[in-house]
Amino acid sequence: MANLKELRLRIASVKNTRKITAAMSQIASARLRKAQNALLAARPYGERMHEVVQHLVAGIDPAERKAAHALLEERKGGRTLVIAMTADRGLCGGFNSNINRAVARYLDQERAEGHEVVLMAIGRKAQAYFKHYGEDFGGREYPAAEDKTVVDLGKTVASAVIEAFLSEDEAERVDRVLLQYNHFVSVLNQEPRRIQILPLTASESEDAPTQEPTFEPERSSILQHLVPVAVESLLQQAMFNSVAAEIAARRVAMDAATDNASGLIADLTLEYNRERQAAITTELMEIIGGAEALKG
């Protein structure tokens, strides 16, 4: 059983930890409002952009989509590029591990079926996790997105995946690009999602319009401009969601750690008081016993 000095040191240590976790929770709360505002401000543009492109693609015969734009080409088999989007830091609950495990399961499943899959990592946690298991990113590594870097990083990653998709080098070309990220649903709920970045397709529920609309300029000109922008938008929307989800997960994790520290402090304090009371009682009994012995 721990002595009184050890208990005092443990209580002091846990109190210091609680101060750190409480401070981290407060910082996350302050950052979360800003991240949520940025996400909500960007979401309407991203959703509308995706709807417009899907509507344009839905009106094209599948056999003619490659001619309309190279990024619409559906290829059979080939190589798949999977983007794992995590954070650069930990202490955010299952935020990083959920993505890493989901990507690892997908890799195992696809490779077991004989499909070729390569990786791109956004965030140090994904890089460290998959390097530990011997995965080679081939230079496809990027830092995690932050509030101020989402737009530029989204453009950089979009350029990289478009270049890989359109590459004429068989060793570099990929035929499909998937993204695994955390979608921000609420402060308490961050949902791992996997979406297809390339090739861009119409949604399964969307059919070609019954009455062909008139485009100005023509459909092909609009697609030439909008398709690369839509790829950037998809990546940026995912990054906005990932940033907000990371901060929310960190806040929840630090709140839980603070509560756990408070509970541990209460348990240790109770144990300390019991030990102290037992020590005082023992000392009193020794004093009374000594006094009785002197009387005798």
pLDDT in tens, 151-169: 999 999 999 999 999 998 8
* Model pLDDT for residues 177-227, shown as the tens digit of each residue: 999 999 999 989 999 999 999 998 876 554 445 555 666 777 778 888 889
Q: Out of 48-62, 206-220, 275-289, pick the least confident.
A: 206-220
Which residues, at least 6 apart from 24, have a Cβ–Cβ distance to it below 8 Å? 91, 250, 254
The pLDDT value recorded for residue 215 is 67
> Which DSSP helix (H) or strand (E) runs through 178?
strand 176-186
The pLDDT value recorded for residue 212 is 57
The pLDDT value recorded for residue 191 is 94
The pLDDT value recorded for residue 208 is 47
Band of residue 53 on the pLDDT scale cut at 50, 70, 90: confident
The pLDDT value recorded for residue 206 is 47
d(CA 100, CA 84): 7
Query: Whole-prediction pTM value?
Result: 0.86
* Model pLDDT for residues 250-264, shown as the tens digit of each residue: 999 999 999 999 999
Q: Which residues are catalytic?
A: 92
* Average pLDDT of every residue of the chain: 89
User: What is the fold of 22-203+224-253?
Assistant: Pyruvate Kinase; Chain: A, domain 1 (3.40.1380)
- Percent pLDDT > 70 in the chain is 95
* Model pLDDT for residues 227-240, shown as the tens digit of each residue: 999 999 999 999 99
Question: Helices marked H in 115-200 — which ranges?
Answer: 124-132, 150-166
Structure tokens at 176: 């499909």
Band of residue 111 on the pLDDT scale cut at 50, 70, 90: very high
SS3 content of the chain, % helix, strand, coil (to 5): 65, 10, 25
Angle (nearest 5°) at CA 258 between 244 and 261: 150
Tell me what the mean pLDDT of segment 28-51 comes to.
91
d(CA 129, CA 137): 12
Output 125 or 286, whichever has higher pLDDT: 125
